[in-house]
Amino acid sequence: MHNEVWNDHLNPVAFLERSSFVYPDKPAVVYGSLTYTYAQLHERVNRLAGALRNAGVVKGDRVAFIVPNIPAMLEGHFGPMAIGAVLVAVNTRLATREVEHIINHSGAKIIVFDSEYASTIRDLKDKLPNVTLLVQVVDTSPHADDIPGPDYETFLASAPEGQHREQLDSELDTIAINYTSGTTGLPKGVQYHARGAYLAAMGEIIESGLNWRSKYLWTLPMFHCNGWCFTWAVTGIGGTHICLRRVDPIDILSLITEQGVTHMCGAPTVLISMYSSPAAEGQDLRGLTIVTAGAPPAPVVLRAMESMGATVLHAYGLTETYGPHTMCEPQLEWDSYSPTEMALAKSRQGVPYIQAHTGMRVVDERMQDVPLDGQTLGEVAMRGNNVMSGYYNDIENTNKSFAGGWFHSGDLAVWHSNGYIELKDRAKDIIISGGENISSQEVEKTIMEHPGVLEVSVIGVPDDKWGEVPKAFVVSRDGASITADEIISFCQDRIARFKAPKHVTFGNLPKTATGKVQKYILRNQEWGNQQTRIQGPGAK
């Protein structure tokens, strides 16, 4: 005889159910003067699930949310999946055409939108044949009376009495579709399954050191990889979500002090905005852990934040890997490092997250591992529970991305002897000048060391002699007076002369909602009507 063991499917909804049982009266969500306890959050999510079901949503249906980092968006990360539906969290900064593509490509049945984006819905409501209901969240903008459908609170109140949770058919059922930024075409829908989301959230809890006392500030958009799965992670450990509608460095720094924030996430550009803000003067960030990813941070960024007392963890991943896939894990010997040595060590992308069966390699074009010599360039390839199921309704791109049985990231890296990877560039961003490969990130990190530089992006631009040469787009610090010649000379003194930019332009940088510089916009400006540019090894 043996005991029969029954295993429930891994599903992030279970995180909320547990925390509402263990911490019913503990603050789950804080937004301005509004606070919801875990019992209240669970009840609101249950009513959202019931209202969706009452509106005709069934297992597998898609529900789109176009909502910023306010409580309704957090509730959207649990309500649909509670009845087996699929959340489509839409980037609130996309153009109307891109939103139309996402809603129609995903086949979303219901759209929950914040009234700030009423003009987008107004332009699209007659172009969305699958949408049966529009639900309006009223927060800082007035209710758009000309758009039919209930407001969000009325919609929640329409839920029938009782519990509405349904079990998934499989823990590999899709629970969320996250659309890529679409920088090389229309956005692709990345499918997350329940098992992957659950394990990714567990990884975030462990790697970032979340606990029941944690207070997490929402600077990272929840629509981006479901907030790198911190929507589920913070809930799972019973921490408190501090919602922030708009990312503003003054608001961030004041909330850190007022709310006792212990954790936050953000791209390096968010950190730059924090330490360069006048409000940073005298700010003590001891007790704050920041996970940064989205773009490789320059050592100067890490030094600046840690000089304010923050602990910065450097992660790396993609939308296709549920957000972070690797962490630059600290080592004991780092305790003796100088701030400069520490920042340099932490600027590497590191090793795979702790959660089960998360794999990573750096491979050549024949899918062979490159030597762990810190010099040989290869493409980062991943597989495991925290790699997407595939692109929604896109077999061609799915098969292409998983050639050889591993997901191809398109990121070029070297593999160090200790197993840590270090990104050198996106395959499409490598600059090939006169036959020499130049890492745009190496040039960017060098320029960032200049005291007058706040941000920089480097791309290859056309050159009659060399094919292409580096060009730097520089954002100067307030009050700094620097010239192109000064930047070029600064680089020539620190890296090989052929790597130094040949051209420098000053001004603002185009960015995504998550703070990534949109290099494709800069390239389009520089390359004009030329159909293609030279690309590095492994370019896709």
Contacts of 161 (CB under 8 A, 6+ apart): none
pLDDT digits (tens, 9 = 90+) for 38-75: 999 999 999 999 999 999 999 999 999 999 999 999 99
Average pLDDT of the residues in 173-190: 83
Are 38-196 and 247-426 the same fold in CATH? yes
Q: Any idea which residue has 């930047």 for tokens? A: 487
Instruction: Give percent of the chain above pLDDT 70.
Output: 95
Average pLDDT of the residues in 345-357: 84
What does residue 141 show for φ and ψ, rounded to 5 degrees?
-105, 150
- pLDDT at position 511 is 86
pTM of the predicted model as reported, rounded to 2 decimal places = 0.87
What is the chain's mean pLDDT, rounded? 91
Reported confidence tier of residue 355, pLDDT bands at 50, 70, 90: confident
- SS3 for 419-433, per residue? CCEEEEEECCCCEEE
CATH architecture, domain defined by 38-196: 3-Layer(aba) Sandwich (3.40)
Question: Would you call 57 helix, strand, or coil by DSSP?
Answer: coil
Where does residue 278 rank: exposed (0-12), middle (13-18), buried (19+ CB within 10 A)? exposed
- Specify the range with the lowest mean pLDDT, choosing from 417-431, 442-456, 495-509: 417-431
Per-domain boundaries in the chain: 38-196, 247-426, 438-527
- pLDDT at position 534 is 40
Q: Of 3.40.350.10, 3.40.50.300, 3.40.50.2300, 3.40.50.12780, which CATH number belongs to 247-426?
A: 3.40.50.12780
Q: Which residue did the predictor score with more confidence, 239 or 530? A: 239
- Model confidence at 283: pLDDT above 90: yes
Alpha helices (H) in 222-323, listed in sequence order: 225-228, 230-237, 249-259, 268-275, 299-307
- Compute the distance between CA of residue 40 and CA of residue 20 in angstroms, rounded to an integer: 8
Please answer whether residues 173 and 62 qualify as being in contact, where contact means their C-beta atoms are separated by less than 8 angstroms: no
Q: Where does residue 225 fall: left (phi above 0), alpha (psi -120 to 50 degrees), or beta otherwise?
A: left
Where does residue 136 rank: exposed (0-12), middle (13-18), buried (19+ CB within 10 A)? buried
- pLDDT at position 466 is 81
Reported confidence tier of residue 540, pLDDT bands at 50, 70, 90: very low
Question: Would you call 304 helix, strand, or coil by DSSP?
Answer: helix
- pLDDT at position 533 is 43
- pLDDT at position 531 is 42
- Model confidence at 530: pLDDT above 90: no
Contacts of 241 (CB under 8 A, 6+ apart): 28, 29, 30, 74, 216, 218, 234, 235
How many Cα atoms occupy the beta-carbon half-sphere of 290 within 13 Å? 30
For residue 78, the 8-state DSSP code is T
- Compute the distance between CA of residue 429 and CA of residue 412 in angstroms, rounded to an integer: 9
Of 498, 504, 414, 413, which Cα lies nearest the Cα of 450? Answer: 504
Partners of residue 433 on adjacent β-strands: 436
Average pLDDT of the residues in 228-232: 98
Spell out the CATH class of 438-527. Answer: alpha beta
